[in-house]
Amino acid sequence: TGKKDEIAPWMASHMDIDGFDISGLAAKSHGAIRIAGAENLKRIHSFKLADPGRILAFLENKTVWHPIGL
């Protein structure tokens, strides 16, 4: 818990956080957050709309092939 503008720089540089949605943060801090997250190749995105589909930017799709012996 805490104020998002205070914990955002810490979260951006934390090595155990893989993705970060910076929507709602002050626009002036976006650049610093992106630079801090670049050290561990963190996925950082900002969205203009509060759409549930924005989660897709943080998901990895994998194809699973399971052959069935006939």
Q: What is the reported pLDDT for 32?
A: 92
Q: What is the reported pLDDT for 49?
A: 82
Q: What is the reported pLDDT for 1?
A: 66
Q: What is the reported pLDDT for 30?
A: 92
Which residue(s) pair with 21 in the sheet?
45
pTM of structure: 0.68
15-27 burial, b at 16+ Cβ within 10 Å, e below that, comes to eeeeebebeebee
* pLDDT tens track, the chain, 70 positions: 678 888 899 999 999 999 998 988 888 999 999 999 998 888 998 888 888 888 888 888 888 887 886 6
